[in-house]
Structure 1
């Protein structure tokens, strides 16, 4: 009986590992569809596997790390042959999300992102701090193996770091939303949701591909999405805008036309980073304010009920008289 239970657990763990590896590999291949080249290094402006890895760790715990490592190995092997440097890249790409998970758990992070502290933790611990590991290991190995000169270290390192961080900031919150989704919005919200989607499909391609620099038009849309649909609206809007901006940057059109590769990288990553920060932090502040308002409303309602009972000369509903209590002013001995 014990052996059967152990076999069942091993089988479940194996399936979970393969599922995580498959999702990581699929996300990696998706990210590699639109790479940017700086010097001899190829990187992606958004690296979705980091977001997939962080989300998998919050769903499965630390037992998800073998799947992350296997997925990272498959992605690297799709680009090059198996060499010792490949194992170093796999180690860096595995250690970064694991460290992000451990630091976020230590900080009391909640995947619902319903508090400002959750948004700040995801930005500064899960994305900016933890992804230093993968960027430093990956670019450091390129320099050590002679594939990248020391003069190109910092531009490539910055691009690698920001790309990994964007995967955490844009992809992980979207996966958290899918995990915690319980029911669709009420029918009364659908007209506004459809209007927001229609405006986004018209405005975002215009902002990212117009020869006039109109990227700033994205921010009013983000504010609308955050105010009316909180995290779901702002994160999906930011992810859509980031994908369109990446397509425009890799095609060299719109605000990215006529720029060098380094200038394209800096402009795109600045836009993606500021947009992700705006979406996460603004929606977290709005959700926190809504929760505070509901708590105050509940407290006021309870206070009104207590005052009504006191005025009527009755005990409050949550404090029934104890057995043996006499009427007011009388105290009977036992």
Structure 2
């Protein structure tokens, strides 16, 4: 017979311990013992304080100037729980029975009233969110409310019980109730506050100062309530206790306030009951004495507690303010606080250390100044308008700004502006947080550039093929021209045909190089009015050779509106989408697949570009993540996972959308939607009519500066039939000619040359021959440095991109010279 395993005393079910009956009984017994011990201790303390209060009673042996037992019962039930009320009832009934010479019935009635006032008081305290620390003004007010309201239960029941039992006369009911009520209220306020506060641990006070203050209070109190002064002088002595109470409240907080109140109350009650002090008068009787004493205690108690609570709140608010200032000052983001002035302008009132580091400026350079221009100069005009609208409407603003550092550098900042409202709900301040994203934007630019180069690299073989074909027949035709010219006049016709073929080949190479420059240039954020079809065509030329072995390339051009954008950035998007399309189609069956590019406009008038393929498609799970950075389905080493993420970022920066539709085995469709540029629908200006008769222009002096001798000589041979041409390969030599007094009507200058660059030539001419600087045309190979890009943005001069077509060069010269003549 198998043995049964004994069950442990505690089993677990669902992670919760299930206790056995003996354990539950042990815990219940221990809890019961603790409750009984607390009730016994509370009853003993209440009984002792009731005996003390009755010893100072002056009206029918029960009305005392301060009934301390009320404070004990109220604080005890609040700290231990209302369920301990039987201890109050028993102790109150016994005290009245033994020390007030009350009958058992009267003792029970008074005990019931004392218990009821404590229970109602505790329930009201908890209802009103009272805190026993008394460190808030509202806690003092709540305790005062409870002291003057809930004590009415004890007063009404006790006074009526005394009259009905014959212990007090009916005509004394009002005075008895009045003194009883004030005595219980003072007990709750004086003793109750002391018990509540002193029941909590506090840090050690400054003992020497505390003892000295206590000695002063005791000395002034004894002098006032035991001395021989009478009349106004006696009252003046009493008022000396007020500054000592203020001292205790401000220096020692709530703990010092309740102790000073308790000490003052003890001395004043003892002196008055003993027949001394300003509140004792043989003519008025004890009733008036008690009323004056109670009024004095009410004022000094309430004042001390409120002052201590207000001081504690002020200290807490100051600590929170210091914490907030420390937190704001130490955050890594730059924080700038602006005050909104009545005229709607902003003034800087605070700048934390991080913001000062961002701009390299000190507080004296920021505080009190307007942020306009000084800090927000890097916002785009549209962002400026949005920021102004947010300030006017008291709303939030999020955008990017370029902060000007004191050393002249620029800091890219992501800024969030938030309104701060006052108690009336009006916007009083704006808080701007600036996060330095300079490194992030630089890294982002590098990633975009790397992804662009990667896309071009994917098509490198096709681009090489596209260049080699026209280059081959260009070389062959040039060789054929040389052979034809050797035949003399008989070979001129053939030489002319070969030169035309060579020119066609050179033009094809120029177009391919131009496309490469568009897709590979490092700059490209400059926005201009663009024809969407003109952006799509170069991308198709770049990708055509790589697409043909996999699919048919179908072009379906519509009439999209013009858009405002960057040709290089949007061209990169098109190139990436074409690369994605061809990579989704396997090689070997071009007749079965196609890549279709369609342009047009959508129903809302936006420009539309659609790139679709008949490749493998995507599952819903892959489709949901294709725009996540670094997500790729390609094998390791064949993709970065940044292409589509960057495409989406570029399209969104142009205010557009990049959408995708796909199904596994059915291909993919990417759709680009771009907002139409303002004025894109306006009709184009009519072409100017040709002049009725051509006028032969006069010969002009043209200076050519280019470090490539063959190119300079080629331009000279092209221009010399119409003008006088002077050529140099060094910018320094050209400047020397100008300084010597040689006159030129136009300058063609290479932008990037060793030694004296085109930028140096321009700067020197601006200083010494400004009229010639205005007639300078730059010729650039396009490989710009950062300094070159900044220079190009800053000048208005015409810039021709190499290789320059002859007709374009001659037209530019004629236009520049015509402008010079008109000027």
Q: Which TM-score applies when normalising by structure 2?
A: 0.37
Q: Relative to structure 1, is the Cα distance of residues 311 and 328 closer, same or farther in structure 2, using a 3 angstrom cutoff?
A: farther
Distance 1:82 1:203 in 2: 42
Are 2:177 and 1:157 equivalent residues in the alignment?
Answer: yes
SS in 1 for 2:245: helix
From 1, 4, 25, the counterpart of 1:3: 25
| Residue 318 of structure 1: aligned partner | none
Please tell me whether Structure 1 or Structure 2 has the larger radius of gyration of its CA atoms: 2
Q: Relative to structure 1, is the Cα distance of residues 12 and 195 closer, same or farther in structure 2, using a 3 angstrom cutoff?
A: closer
Distance 1:311 1:217 in 2: 53
| Residue 226 of structure 1: aligned partner | 249
| Residue 176 of structure 1: aligned partner | 196
**In the TM superposition, what whole-angstrom CA distance separates every residue of 1:153-177 from its partner, at most 9, and x where no partner exists?**
1111111111111111111121122
SS in 2 for 1:134: helix
**Greater share of residues in strand:** 2
**In the TM superposition, what whole-angstrom CA distance separates every residue of 1:67-118 from its partner, at most 9, and x where no partner exists?**
1112112212213365223221111000001111111111100000111000
Distance 2:240 2:49 in 1: 28
Asked if the contact 1:113/1:119 (under 8 Å) is kept, the reply is: yes
Are 2:181 and 1:68 equivalent residues in the alignment?
Answer: no
From 92, 100, 104, the counterpart of 2:125: 104
Structure 1 unaligned regions, length at least 5: 316-320
Asked if the contact 2:159/2:177 (under 8 Å) is kept, the reply is: yes
SS in 1 for 2:440: coil
SS in 1 for 2:296: helix
Are 2:57 and 1:35 equivalent residues in the alignment?
Answer: yes
**In the TM superposition, what whole-angstrom CA distance separates every residue of 1:287-322 from its partner, at most 9, and x where no partner exists?**
11111111111111111112334555699xxxxx9x
Asked if the contact 2:97/2:104 (under 8 Å) is kept, the reply is: no
| Residue 292 of structure 1: aligned partner | 317
Q: Relative to structure 1, is the Cα distance of residues 274 and 81 closer, same or farther in structure 2, using a 3 angstrom cutoff?
A: closer
Deviation at 1:25, TM superposition (A): 0.5
1:137-152 to 2 correspondences below 5 Å: 137-152=157-172
Asked if the contact 1:238/1:279 (under 8 Å) is kept, the reply is: yes
Distance 2:117 2:295 in 1: 22
From 129, 141, 145, the counterpart of 1:124: 145
Distance 2:186 2:155 in 1: 13
Deviation at 1:179, TM superposition (A): 1.5
Distance 2:87 2:222 in 1: 36
Deviation at 1:209, TM superposition (A): 2.5
Asked if the contact 1:200/1:221 (under 8 Å) is kept, the reply is: yes
| Residue 69 of structure 2: aligned partner | 49
1:78-117 to 2 correspondences below 5 Å: 78-79=98-99, 80=101, 83-117=104-138
Distance 1:86 1:194 in 2: 41
| Residue 263 of structure 2: aligned partner | 240
From 203, 208, 221, the counterpart of 1:204: 221
Structure 2 unaligned regions, length at least 5: 1-21, 332-351, 359-412, 415-434, 448-626, 629-823
Asked if the contact 2:42/2:76 (under 8 Å) is kept, the reply is: yes
Q: Relative to structure 1, is the Cα distance of residues 32 and 81 closer, same or farther in structure 2, using a 3 angstrom cutoff?
A: closer
Distance 1:328 1:93 in 2: 75
Distance 2:287 2:104 in 1: 29
Are 2:331 and 1:308 equivalent residues in the alignment?
Answer: no
Distance 1:42 1:73 in 2: 13
Deviation at 1:54, TM superposition (A): 1.2
SS in 1 for 2:62: strand
Asked if the contact 1:230/1:287 (under 8 Å) is kept, the reply is: yes
Q: Relative to structure 1, is the Cα distance of residues 46 and 81 closer, same or farther in structure 2, using a 3 angstrom cutoff?
A: closer
Asked if the contact 1:174/1:235 (under 8 Å) is kept, the reply is: yes
| Residue 740 of structure 2: aligned partner | none
Asked if the contact 1:96/1:134 (under 8 Å) is kept, the reply is: yes
From 280, 293, 297, the counterpart of 1:272: 297
- Larger relative contact order (Cα-Cα within 8 Å, sequence gap ≥ 6): 1
SS in 1 for 2:55: coil
